[in-house]
């Protein structure tokens, strides 16, 4: 993945503003994974905008936890594959911390 722009699709391809707007309107496209452990939510989404702020590689996906002991914990990823793997790891941590 070459770092050449600000907006990217889920495959890491640089896109223009019109495509970014269209994809941002598609909820199913934006949400990569979403799970609940009790009242705690673990959500991984495609951001579209490079959140590395012009770092070496674009960060296009984010996992964030809402609620529980890991509330507001977040991780960012370059690829959808890494995001899915990261989501599963964060979800496993939330489950461990939620056990009685």
Structure tokens at 81: 């594959």
Q: Count how many domains the chain has.
A: 1
Residues 25-78 have pLDDT tens digits of 999 999 999 999 999 999 999 999 888 876 788 899 999 999 999 999 999 999
Report yes or no on 81 lying in a domain: yes
Report yes or no on 7 lying in a domain: no
Instruction: Supply the pLDDT for residue 24.
Output: 93
φ, ψ for residue 2, nearest 5 deg: -85, 140
Structure tokens at 33: 């994974």
Report yes or no on 74 lying in a domain: yes
Report yes or no on 82 lying in a domain: yes
Report yes or no on 10 lying in a domain: no
Instruction: Supply the pLDDT for residue 3.
Output: 46
Report yes or no on 69 lying in a domain: yes
Report yes or no on 45 lying in a domain: yes
Residues in the chain: 100
Report yes or no on 6 lying in a domain: no
Residue 35: which domain range?
Answer: 17-98
Instruction: Supply the pLDDT for residue 2.
Output: 44
* Model confidence, pTM: 0.90
φ, ψ for residue 25, nearest 5 deg: -80, -10
């Amino acid at each position: 993945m070459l770092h050449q722009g600000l907006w990217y699709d889920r495959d890491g391809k640089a896109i223009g503003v019109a495509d970014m707007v269209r994809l941002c309107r598609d909820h199913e496209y934006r949400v990569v994974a979403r799970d609940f452990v009790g009242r705690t939510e673990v959500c991984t989404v495609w951001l579209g905008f490079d959140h590395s702020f012009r770092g070496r590689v674009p960060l296009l996906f984010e996992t964030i936890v809402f609620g529980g002991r890991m509330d507001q914990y977040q991780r960012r990823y370059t690829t959808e594959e890494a995001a899915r793997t990261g989501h599963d790891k964060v979800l496993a941590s939330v489950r461990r911390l939620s056990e009685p």
